[in-house]
Amino acid sequence: MSDTLATDRYGDPDARLGVLTEVLELQLARRSVRRFTAREVTDDELTALVAAAQSAPTSANLQAWSVIAVRDPGRRARLAALAGNQAFVAQAPLFLVWIADLGRARRLAVRADAALDAADYLETTVIGLVDTALAAQNAVLAATSLGLGSVFVGAVRNHPEEIAAELKLPPHTVAVFGLAVGEPDPAEAAGVKPRLPQAAVLHHEQYDADAADAHIPAYDERLAGYNARYGLTGGWSDRVLARLRGPESLAGRHRLREILDRLGLPSR
């Protein structure tokens, strides 16, 4: 089992793991799911996902995040339109929108008539973003353990102000990403997407760019082979360069700093 999991995760028949636990099995087998059955995500399952999310680390116990569970089909459809017209957002029975939430601390300061000047600095915004990501990834692993599939949706940042209006977000908050959740449709043509080999990302003692980057060409071939099996083209390098080519490739997110300022998350 461990050999199969490692082989799939790296697209490398020689990949091996020397240890394996139930948690590692779930993590290695996780994949993005974009087609779901009609089964609803139950309230008990949602409660468990949020409990898992709240068990993630949080900087200084600020707990600078919130999450909005969207089940209403009309609202899911509107969010899908704002998030790159991705049909699975509307099709998934549950769409979780993860919020970097500094509004809670701001409101606390107002009630206590206390200063909160540090909230105006980039570090505090970063804390909110990191806390949100850690919490959401815990929820993803919990969902996998419950037999649920999921996929992150960064495209909610294409139109953050419109998303904020749709969800009635208070000041000093922003939707960081969405998470479509549901029972995976077994007919979906998808697999575990290979990742960069560990030698490309794991450094010992000091960063060695030349040694790490030497493994990229082989990975490009592996990912190109995976993509071809599912009707896609190209390897990893081509996609990275296309995605980061210029502001036009960011789907409107190049304006994020000014939008964050308008939403009450300045970054001094």
Q: Which residue, chain included where needed, has tokens 């700093």?
A: 257
Q: How far is CA 1 from CA 8, 13, 26, 35, 258, in A?
A: 11, 13, 12, 26, 49
Let me know if residue 255 belongs to a domain.
Answer: yes
For CA atoms 132, 127, 66, 70, give the dihedral sign. negative
Give the separation between CA 7 and CA 71, rounded to whole angstroms: 37
Let me know if residue 202 belongs to a domain.
Answer: no
Confidence at residue 2, expressed as pLDDT on a 0 to 100 scale: 60
> Above 70 in pLDDT, residue 137?
yes
Residues of the domain holding 106 = 31-188+249-262
Let me know if residue 211 belongs to a domain.
Answer: no
Let me know if residue 13 belongs to a domain.
Answer: no
Nearest Cα neighbor of 5 from 36, 34, 37, 29 is 29
- Overall number of domains in the chain: 1
Let me know if residue 194 belongs to a domain.
Answer: no
Let me know if residue 181 belongs to a domain.
Answer: yes
Tens-digit pLDDT profile for residues 44-66: 999 999 999 999 999 999 999 99
Give the separation between CA 7 and CA 204, rounded to whole angstroms: 23
Let me know if residue 106 belongs to a domain.
Answer: yes
CATH value at residue 108: 3.40.109.10
Tens-digit pLDDT profile for residues 155-207: 999 999 999 999 999 999 999 999 999 999 999 999 999 999 999 999 999 99
